[in-house]
Structure 1
Amino acid sequence: MIRDRAASHELEGFGAYALVIPAFNEAATIREVVTAALQFVPRVIVVDDGSTDGTSSALEGLGIELLRNETNQGKAASLWRGLQHALREDDVVAVMTMDGDGQHDPLEIPKLLRAAHRFPRHVVIGSRLWNKAAIPPARYRANRFANFWIAWASGQPIEDSQSGFRVYPAELIRSVTLSYSRDRSFVFESEILIEAARMGFYALPARVSAVYRDNARPSHFRPVTDIVRITRMVAWKLITSGLYPKGLWRSLTMRPFNYE
């Protein structure tokens, strides 16, 4: 706890940040995740995406903002709703996102916020792929495959394009326009990196732990189906931009900048 209080004190004066957590059937882990996150970010917004396992009930008594989708809308729609809700407060400078299944360690929130404070026109991404041994092989391969295409289309090297542990500048969220339909659930977080780069907001990795908990529900990410959808989205963007050879060159030759 001493470490946590020190980190919270260090973050004072950074400006107003909000945290958005999309949640679908996360009753086993959501309260622990939110309780830990509140040590660092006083404004936490949970979007319950039509859960049927008591996810909302698990949050009773916590000082958070709880939004509920009557039916399951998908991760993209829940993220977008939470992001827009966060920006109702004019003093918000950036919005953090993280998953509710415990894969993102709330104790690493200060690392991402420090990076966002130093580099306010970047999308800070909690990068996990540096620790290959801790990641299921199928997930690791799928993520590396997605990295190549998204890096090409965005014209920059990207360490972990599929991590949902991020900090988005408020200016980006207010300006970008994306589809968040249910079939875009895991496309959204890839597409926003491409559109962000086109607007001058580049990705900045901050290395974090890769956590896979025994009591977490199975991942909603489907390595084959969702990677196909992501690749199809990227392919269309490349085709409409003349295959963007400069982007491919930049993604392969630029040296990634790691925030530590």
Structure 2
Amino acid sequence: MTDKEGTSAGLSIVIPALNEAASLRELLPELKQRFPSAEILVVDDGSTDDTATLRKELDVRCIRHPYNMGNGAAVKDGARHARGETLVFMDADGQHLPEHVEHLLERFHTEDLDMLVGARNSAGQAGLLRGLGNRIFNLLASWMTGHRVLDLTSGLRVVRADRFREFLHLLPNGFSYPTTSTMAFFRSGYSVAYEPVDVRARTGTSHLNIWREGLRFLLIIFKIGTLYSPLKLFAPLSLVLFVAASVWYAYTLLTEGRFTNMSALLYTTSLLTFMIGLVSEQITTLMFAHRNYERRD
């Protein structure tokens, strides 16, 4: 919601930035005009351009890192220092517009959500290869969380500050904070929704290495998935091993008339994998039960 309706009090807009002075020069005045009561917090992640000078000119609050610590580190630092009860995270590259923030805030407060993500369409993806990768990640994350994930890597989102800070210890220092926070919210039973947004072409070049970060995104999906629902990973893996053992046993029985050591190994591994997943699931359940008990106290 907008300041015209008196709803941006208690709002902090956190913008991690690395050498994005060109786009910030246009974005920051627009945000200040549209949300005069909101705290606008730029986290300068070791920029070498005139970002520091720009924020002084525009009288915007800024946290400056002495060197490049990573996008996730900037987001975590911004979340720790932000004063608002509602946090908006948006990229500094010019893709996200102030009207996007306005639309997200209207729905966020109307529906009383815990997280609302700006979901880009196919035209908003940076290249065909990255768009294809994001679709694959969305499908994997949907399977791991049991909820439909429309845009796992979007940097535009509105969250409740207290909810988001619960997961700061899980967030990586690199470019994967959207992935981790989205899956953590889903698996914790917090309400998450998506709002379609049409983003502009970014200003400047991307700091993202698609191959390195793509592998990192994949690892994070499994890391968070196994942290919150271990059987989602261990049960299918156990089933694959059991099927492989059965196929090998059938083959050796028909060709050699015996039960081989390889079949025994595969069956044993299948059973152990399932038991590890079961124990992990119980540990996760106890962990969350303890956390919920502490929150009630």
Change (3 A) 1:207 1:59: same
Tell me whether 48-57 or 146-155 shows the greater mean CA deviation: 146-155
CA distance in 2, matches of 1:203, 1:230: 20
Aligned equivalent of 1:209: 198
Aligned to 1:35: 29
Which of 1 and 2 has higher RCO (CA within 8 Å, sep 6+)?
A: 1
In structure 2, C-alpha distance between the alignment counterparts of 1:50 and 1:142, rounded to whole Å: 29
Cα deviation code 1:74-116 (max 9, x no counterpart): 0000000001111xx3xx3310010111011122211011121
Q: Is 2:132 the counterpart of 1:141?
A: yes
CA contact (8 A) 1:104 1:165 kept: yes
TM-score (norm 1): 0.81
Query: CA–CA distance in 2 between the matches of 1:134 and 1:174?
Result: 28
| 1:165 Cα deviation after fit | 0.6
Q: Secondary structure at the match of 1:28?
A: helix
Using the alignment, how far apart are the partners of 2:123 and 2:187 within structure 1? 33
Q: What is the SS of the residue equivalent to 2:92?
A: coil
Partner of 2:120: 128
Alpha carbons of structure 1 residues 63 and 119: separation in structure 2 relative to 1, 3 Å? farther
How big is the shift at 1:71? 0.6
Output the CA distance in 1 between the equivalents of 2:110 and 2:234: 31
Is residue 186 of structure 2 the alignment partner of residue 190 of structure 1?
no
**1:221 aligns to 2:211 (yes or no):** no
Q: Give the number of the structure whose residues are more often helix, by fraction.
A: 2
User: Would you say the 8 A contact 1:139–1:223 is kept in 2?
Assistant: yes
CA separation of 1:7 and 1:170: change in aligned 2, threshold 3 A: closer
Match of residue 81 from structure 1: 77
Q: Which moved more, 1:13-22 or 1:155-164?
A: 13-22
Q: Give the SS at the match of 1:232.
A: helix
SS of residue in 2 equivalent to 1:207: strand
Q: What is the distance in 2 between the residues matched to 1:114 and 1:80?
A: 25
**Do the aligned partners of 2:153 and 2:179 also contact (CA within 8 Å) in 1?**
yes
Are 1:167 and 2:158 counterparts?
A: yes
Distance 1:219 1:159, change over 3 A: same
2:17 to 23, 34, 58: 23
Q: Deviations over 1:188-207 (max 9, x none)?
A: 22011111112222321111
Calculate the aligned-residue CA RMSD, in Å: 2.2
Counterpart of 1:9 in structure 2: which amino acid? K
Where does residue 221 of structure 2 map in the other structure? 234
The alpha carbon displacement at 1:244 in A equals: 5.9
How far did 1:15 drift? 5.0
Higher gyration radius (CA): 2
Tell me the alpha carbon deviations over residues 131-161 of structure 1, each in whole angstroms, 9 at most, x when there is no partner. Answer: x245321221121122112222222111111
SS of 2:194's equivalent?
Answer: strand
The match for 1:47 is: 43
Give SS of 1:29's match. helix
Mark the CA change 1:119 to 1:24 in structure 2 (over 3 Å): closer, same or farther: same
Q: Which residue of 2 aligns with 1:13?
A: 7
Unaligned 5+ residue runs, structure 1? Answer: 1-5, 247-260
**What 5-or-longer segments of structure 2 have no aligned partner?**
236-297
Question: Would the alpha carbon gap of residues 154 and 8 (structure 1) be closer, same or farther in structure 2, given more than 3 Å must change?
Answer: same
- Provide the rounded CA distance (Å) in 1 between the counterparts of 2:226 and 2:124: 35
- Give the corresponding residue for 1:71: 67
Q: Percent identity?
A: 27
Q: Matches of 1:134 and 1:207 in 2, distance apart?
A: 10
Judge conservation of contact 1:178–1:192 (CA < 8 Å) in 2.
Answer: no
* 8 Å Cα contact 1:37-1:107 kept in structure 2: no
Q: Distance in 1 between matches of 2:95 and 2:130?
A: 13
